[in-house]
Structures are given as structure tokens and as C-alpha cells.
Amino acid sequence: IITIIVVVALIGGAVFLSRVPDRPGTLDTFASCLAEKGAMFYGAFWCPHCNDQKALFGRSQSNIPYTECSTPDGEGQLQVCTDKGITGYPTWEFADGTRQGGVLSLEALGERTSCPVTFDE
């Protein structure tokens, strides 16, 4: 019985450590470069395509230049996005003022911003 408890504790500890959120992501440098180059991702927490876009960045998604457009109840749009004229999600805006809607590949984002898609170790 003690052996089983020890094994379960070790497995539980390993699972817990594998999900520690403060570990750096492999695309942190790329995501930071997007911000430095003036790109901005406008989205909503309830938007499945926005969640798909974020998922491309894995653990690095907290470094994406992102503006939440939805009110907390999901029923309206925040003024910052209304003022910018955002009408659909996801919308990427680039430093030159151009916009592109939909989920963009990492490569497309790299081309639009001259940020190299590199994976940090």
C-alpha cells in the first residue's frame, strides 16, 4: 500500500510540474518581436478562432500583443475596439495601419512584420 501511495504521489508531482505556467514558451522571442514591430491582435475570449490563433503560440500566448474586445458578459464590445473600428475577430492590425482578419499562420505574421519565426530553447 505504501508503494502505491508513493507511486501515485510521484506521478501526481510530475503532472503538476509539467503544467507550471511560468515556464517560458518556445515562441516568446517571436511574440515579443510582433509587439516591437507594432502588430496588434484584437479578439474576444468567446471567439473560437481567436482561441485557435492563441493556441498557435502555445505557452508564449501571454506575450502576444493582444487587445480583448469583448465585455466580460460577452454581450458587447469594449470602447477601445469600437474606437478602432474592429468589426470581426480575430483581427490583426499592423504598424502600417493595414488589417487582416482570420487566423494567421506564424509564417504569415512573420512575413507581415519581418519577425523571424524562431523557436526558443
pLDDT in tens, 11-40: 766 555 555 555 678 999 999 999 999 999
pTM of the model: 0.78
**pLDDT at 72 exceeding the cut of 60:** yes
To the nearest whole number, what is the mean pLDDT of the chain? 90
Q: Give the model's pLDDT for residue 21.
A: 54
d(CA 14, CA 17): 5
Q: Does residue 6 have a pLDDT over 90?
A: no
Model confidence at 5, in pLDDT bands (50, 70, 90)? Answer: confident
